[in-house]
Amino acid sequence: MTHYAVGLMSGTSLDGVDAALVEISGVNLETKVRLIDFLTIPFLPKMKKQIEKSLSIEESSNALLCSLNVELGEVFGEAVLEICKKNNLDSSTLLFVASHGQTIFHMPNGLDGFVPSTLQLGESSVIAERTKTTVISDFRYRDMAVGGQGAPIVPYSELVLYQDAKVTRILQNIGGIGNATILPSGGETDTLAFDTGPGNMIIDELCRHFYQVEYDDEGNFARQGMVNEEVLESLMAHPYIQKKAPKTTGREDFGKEYTANLLKKYQLSANDWIRTATMFTAKSIAETIAPFAKGKTELIIGGGGSYNKVLIVMLKELLPEMTVKTQEDLGYSSEAKEAIAMAILGNQTYHRLPSNVPSATGAFREVILGKVTYYS
Amino acid sequence: MTHYAVGLMSGTSLDGVDAALVEISGVNLETKVRLIDFLTIPFLPKMKKQIEKSLSIEESSNALLCSLNVELGEVFGEAVLEICKKNNLDSSTLLFVASHGQTIFHMPNGLDGFVPSTLQLGESSVIAERTKTTVISDFRYRDMAVGGQGAPIVPYSELVLYQDAKVTRILQNIGGIGNATILPSGGETDTLAFDTGPGNMIIDELCRHFYQVEYDDEGNFARQGMVNEEVLESLMAHPYIQKKAPKTTGREDFGKEYTANLLKKYQLSANDWIRTATMFTAKSIAETIAPFAKGKTELIIGGGGSYNKVLIVMLKELLPEMTVKTQEDLGYSSEAKEAIAMAILGNQTYHRLPSNVPSATGAFREVILGKVTYYS
C-alpha cells in the first residue's frame, strides 16, 4: 500500500529546513519512493543567530538548547504543514514525518573529557502536535550506541534509490560538509560512506566575509579568481583529509573559527581566496574518492554544491576516469536528496526495521534508528 | 497478560537513579502493577559534578550536554541490568524500560528570550542497546506541546495506584521539591496536582553548607534547632508560595543560588537554619493543600522527606483535620513511588494510550507521552 510521508532535513549549512513530500511503499531494499514536492523554509535571521550561538561551546547554555529545541520543532512542524497545504493534503493523513533535526554537536570519537556522542535538536513532540501525525526523529544516536560514528546516516537511502546492477556509483553530497557513498554494482550492500571534508562551508564563510552574501552563486566569484597553490597545499595538509574512511567530520573541523584563522594566516584577494577554497573542496573530494573507482564508475553530485559550476568543472578535471553527473541528470532533486533520505529511514523505523549501514558508519551491527513519537 | 517492566527515575535531588522492577498488566485505570524490587544506583561524585555543571546556565555547554546525555544513558542502562540480575531476569524479556531522564532545565512559562520548554537527558538509544529492550523516554515534552506545564507528570499513576472509593486522598511527595496530587474519592479523574514549593532542597543545601553531609537524617539537626519566625515569614513571602495551582517549580526557584542568598541575608545557627527551612517546607505544603480537604481526607507522604521525622510531626500539627500517613503505612515504598509511576506511564505509551492529566498540568487535552526507542 502506498502512503504519504514527509522527510525533514536541516543541514550544517543552516540555510533552513528542507521538506520532501513523498509517496512511499514497501520496506528494505524493495522500498519504492517517489518525490511529490520539495520546499525549503529559510530560517529567520533571529533563529539562525540562535542556532549559531548554540553551536559555540562558549555561547551555548542549557536554557538556550532547551528553548531552541522547541523553537526548531515549531519551524519543522510549520514546514510539514506548508508542503501539505501546497499539495492539498491533510498532514494527519501522513503515515509519518521523519525529522533529522539540527545538529548542534557531533563528536563520534569524544573530545577531552567528553564521551562519543551527538546532539540534534527539533522537538518531535512539537512536530507531532502541529502535524497530528507520528514523528520519527533522532536517527544518529542509535548507531553510535552500537559503536558507529552516527554518520553518514543517508547510505541506506542511497542503496534504495541509486544502486545500479552494472555501474559502480559514487554519490557525492556537497552541503556544508562533503560526504560520499560508494555503491557497489549488483545488489551488494556493503557500501562505504564517509565525509570527504569541507563542502561549501569554507566557501560560504569567505563569501560572507568578503561580500556579505551567503554563498558563491554558480561559482561566479571563484570563476574570477586564481588558485593559490601554496595555500592550497597547506589546506590539503589538514589531518582530516589524510585520515582513512570511514571517517566523519562536521562544522567543528572546517567552520567559522577555522576560516577566521586562515584569513589571518594568508593574505589573498577575495576571489583568489574563494577559488582556492573551491579547489580545496574539489581536491579533497577527488583524492578521497578516486581509489574507489571500479569498472564503469559514475560520480553523482548532489547538495547545494552541485549548483556551483566552477566546482563541478574542477571535479570533472580531477576525475577524468569517472562520468560526472548531478542528481538532476538522473532525475532527482539535489536539494531534496537528504530530506528524501529521512523519509526512507523513517519508513524503516516505522516498520521496526534497521537502516544504518555498518560498513559506512563503523557500527558493529544493524539497528532500528531513531525514536517514535506517536500522535495517536 | 502480565509482563515485567522497569521504571527509572532520576530526580532533582541528584542522589542517583532509582529503578523499580514491576509486574504490570492491563491499561488505563484498570492497570494492575506490583512492585517486585527497587534499588538506587548513586551517581559517582564525578557524574554528580557534571550534572551540577549542566544545571548552571553559565557552566553548561553544548558539548557537556551532548556527552552527559550518553553518560547518563549508560548509568540508567546499568541500573536496569543490575535490578534484573538481582532478580534473575534477562532484561531482554522486559516489555519495556520507561525512563524519566535527568531534568536539566524546565521552564514551563519560558524565560526572557526563551520559549516554554523542558530538557531531560539520559539517551534512550544507549539504554535500549544495553538492556536489549524497548525504551520509552522524554515524557514531559508532549504535555507541553499541548499547553501543559509538563509537570507534575505522576498524577496518572497516582490515580491508578491510590484512588479510593470513599476517602479524598492527597499525595504529597517530598523530593528535592514538593508536589501534591489531590485524588477525589469515587473514581473521578479530574485530579489536581501541583508543586507545593521546596521539598528537601533547601534543607539538603544547608546540611551540605554547615555539616558537609547530604541531608538531615531523620530530622536530627532540625530537632536540635529553633524556628526563627522572622526568617520563616520572609521565606513564606516567596511569590511561588502565593501562586495559584496548577503551578510548577524546580531547582531554579529554590536551588543552590537561592539558599546561598539566604545564608548571606540572615545569620542563624546551623540547626536553627535547618529547622526553619524544615518548617518552611512543612508550612508551604500545609497552606497550599489545606483548602483541598473534603470529607474524610488522608494525607499520604512519600519521597525522601517522608523519612524526616521532624517534618512529619510539623505536618501533623499544621493539618489536624487530615489523617497523615506515609506511603509505607499503605504498603508502598516511598522511594520507589516515582520510578513505579514511570512504569505506569510507560505502559500507557507502549499501548499508544495517553497518560497526562490535563487538570493537573493545564494541558488542553490528553496525549500519548514520550518517545519510543525500539530495540527490535
Instruction: Dump pLDDT digits (tens) for A140-196.
Output: 999 999 999 998 898 899 899 988 889 999 999 999 999 898 998 887 777 888 889
User: What share of chain A has pLDDT > 70, as a percent?
Assistant: 98
pLDDT of residue A72: 98
Mean pLDDT of chain A: 93
At B353, list the grid cell.
494510550
B60 carries a ligand binding annotation? no
pLDDT of residue A258: 93
Give the residue, B114 or B248, on which the prediction is more confident: B114
Q: What is the mean pLDDT of residues B33-40?
A: 95
A93 carries a ligand binding annotation? no
CB atoms B69 and A375 under 8 Å: no
Within 10 A of B100 (CB to CB), how many other CB atoms are there? Answer: 28
Q: Can you list the positions of beta strands (E) in chain A?
A: 3-10, 16-25, 32-42, 96-107, 117-121, 135-137, 168-174, 177-183, 192-198, 297-302, 323-326, 371-373
Closest CA to B347 of B79, B21, B97, B159: B97
CB atoms A117 and B371 under 8 Å: no
Question: In A, which residues are within 8 Å of B105 by CB distance?
Answer: 62-63, 66
Residue of A nearest to B58 (CA): A61
CB atoms A125 and B145 under 8 Å: yes
CB atoms A61 and B58 under 8 Å: yes
Residue of B nearest to A111 (CA): B63
For A298, residues 6+ apart whose C-beta sits below 8 A from its C-beta are A164, A167, A168, A169, A170, A322, A323, A324, A325
B11 carries a ligand binding annotation? yes
Whether the per-residue pLDDT at B86 is higher than 80: the answer is yes
Question: In B, which residues are within 8 Å of A368 by CB distance?
Answer: 374-376
**A219 phi-psi bin (left φ>0, alpha ψ -120 to 50, beta other):** left
At A306, list the grid cell.
552541485
Helices (H), B218-352: 220-223, 229-236, 239-242, 251-254, 256-265, 270-289, 309-318, 337-350
Instruction: Dump pLDDT digits (tens) for B43-84.
Output: 999 999 999 999 999 999 999 999 999 999 999 999 999 999
pLDDT of residue B97: 98
Distance CA B225, CA A269 (A): 75
- Comma-separated ranges of CATH 3.30.420.40 domains in chain A: 3-150+336-373, 155-330
Distance CA A3, CA A26 (A): 10
Question: In B, which residues are within 8 Å of A370 by CB distance?
Answer: 373
SS3 (DSSP) at B40: strand
For the sheet with B192-198, list strands across it. Answer: B192-198, B177-183, B168-174, B297-302, B323-326
For A293, residues 6+ apart whose C-beta sits below 8 A from its C-beta are A168, A170, A321, A322
Whether the per-residue pLDDT at A105 is higher than 70: the answer is yes
Distance CA A249, CA A152 (A): 10
Q: What is the pTM of this model?
A: 0.80
Residue of B nearest to A353 (CA): B376
**Angle at which helices A62-86 and A124-131 cross, to 10°:** 30
CB atoms B372 and A371 under 8 Å: yes
A54, A71, A126 ranked by CB distance to B62: nearest: A54
User: Best interface-test mutation with A: which of B44, B59, B66 has the largest number of A CBs within 10 A?
Assistant: B66
Distance CA B259, CA A120 (A): 34
SS3 (DSSP) at B153: coil
**B281 phi-psi bin (left φ>0, alpha ψ -120 to 50, beta other):** alpha
Q: What is the mean pLDDT of residues B282-311?
A: 94
Residue of B nearest to A106 (CA): B66
Distance CA B208, CA A108 (A): 37
Whether the per-residue pLDDT at A250 is higher than 70: the answer is no
B13 carries a ligand binding annotation? yes
A62, A110, A368 ranked by CB distance to B119: nearest: A62
CB atoms A128 and B145 under 8 Å: yes
Whether the per-residue pLDDT at A234 is higher than 80: the answer is yes
Residue of B nearest to A373 (CA): B371
Please count the residues of chain B: 376
Q: What is the mean pLDDT of residues A98-106?
A: 96
CB atoms A375 and B368 under 8 Å: yes
* A237: exposed, middle or buried (Cβ count in 10 Å: 0-12, 13-18, 19+): exposed
Pairing of strands A3-10, A96-107: parallel
Q: Are B181 and B191 in contact (CB under 8 A)?
A: yes
Where residue B251 falls among pLDDT bands split at 50, 70, 90?
Answer: low
Q: Are B363 and B148 in contact (CB under 8 A)?
A: yes
Q: What is the mean pLDDT of residues A78-87?
A: 98
Q: Are A336 and A34 in contact (CB under 8 A)?
A: no
pLDDT of residue B334: 72
Instruction: Give me the total of CB pairs closer than 8 Å, taking one residue from chain A and one from chain B.
Output: 155
Question: In A, which residues are within 8 Å of B73 by CB distance?
Answer: 145
Question: In B, which residues are within 8 Å of A116 by CB distance?
Answer: 70
Question: In A, which residues are within 8 Å of B115 by CB distance?
Answer: 67, 70-71
At A206, list the grid cell.
569567505
Name the CA dihedral angle for B215, B266, B233, B238, rounded to a multiple of 10 degrees: -70
Residue of A nearest to B146 (CA): A129
Instruction: Dump pLDDT digits (tens) for A219-230.
Output: 999 999 999 999
User: How many angstroms away from the CA of A10 is the closest CA of chain B?
Assistant: 18
Q: Are B127 and B73 in contact (CB under 8 A)?
A: yes
User: What share of chain A has pLDDT > 90, as a percent?
Assistant: 80
Q: What is the mean pLDDT of residues B295-305?
A: 93
User: Best interface-test mutation with B: which of A67, A107, A121, A124 has the largest number of B CBs within 10 A?
Assistant: A67
A55, A69, A117 ranked by CB distance to B69: nearest: A117
User: Best interface-test mutation with B: which of A104, A125, A149 has the largest number of B CBs within 10 A?
Assistant: A125
Residue of A nearest to B125 (CA): A142
User: Best interface-test mutation with B: which of A47, A60, A65, A66 has the largest number of B CBs within 10 A?
Assistant: A66
CB atoms A65 and B70 under 8 Å: no
User: How many angstroms away from the CA of A62 is the closest CA of chain B?
Assistant: 6
Interface ipTM > 0.85: no
Distance CA B227, CA B279 (A): 7
pLDDT of residue B250: 63
Distance CA B230, CA B234 (A): 6
Question: In A, which residues are within 8 Å of B128 by CB distance?
Answer: 142, 145
Whether the per-residue pLDDT at A12 is higher than 90: the answer is no
**CATH number for the segment(s) B155-330:** 3.30.420.40
SS3 (DSSP) at B23: strand
Residue of A nearest to B74 (CA): A145
Instruction: Dump pLDDT digits (tens) for B266-280.
Output: 999 999 999 999 999
Report which residue type is found at A89. L
Question: In B, which residues are within 8 Å of A372 by CB distance?
Answer: 371-374
CB atoms B371 and A124 under 8 Å: yes
pLDDT of residue B248: 73
Which of A23-37, A239-253, A325-339, B283-297 is predicted least confidently?
A239-253
Q: Can you list the positions of beta strands (E) in chain B?
A: 3-10, 16-25, 32-42, 96-107, 117-121, 135-137, 168-174, 177-183, 192-198, 297-302, 323-326, 371-373
Q: How far is CA A104 from CA A154, A198, A237, A251, in A?
A: 18, 17, 27, 9
The angle at the Cα of B252, spanning B354 to B272, to the nearest 5 degrees, equals: 120
Distance CA A292, CA A289 (A): 6
Question: In B, which residues are within 8 Å of A128 by CB distance?
Answer: 142, 145
Pairing of strands B96-107, B3-10: parallel
A26 carries a ligand binding annotation? no
Residue of B nearest to A134 (CA): B371
CB atoms A128 and B142 under 8 Å: yes
Question: In B, which residues are within 8 Å of A114 by CB distance?
Answer: 63-64, 66-67
SS3 (DSSP) at A176: coil
Which of A240-254, A307-321, B161-175, B258-272 is predicted least confidently?
A240-254
Where residue B190 falls among pLDDT bands split at 50, 70, 90?
Answer: confident
A217 carries a ligand binding annotation? no
Distance CA B18, CA A364 (A): 31
Question: In B, which residues are within 8 Å of A371 by CB distance?
Answer: 124-125, 137-138, 371-373
Considering the domain delimited by A3-150+336-373, tell me its CATH architecture: 2-Layer Sandwich (3.30)
CB atoms A352 and B367 under 8 Å: no
Q: Are B44 and B75 in contact (CB under 8 A)?
A: no
Give the residue, A299 or B252, on which the prediction is more confident: A299
Mean pLDDT of chain B: 93
3-state helix, strand, coil in chain B (%, to 5): 45, 25, 35
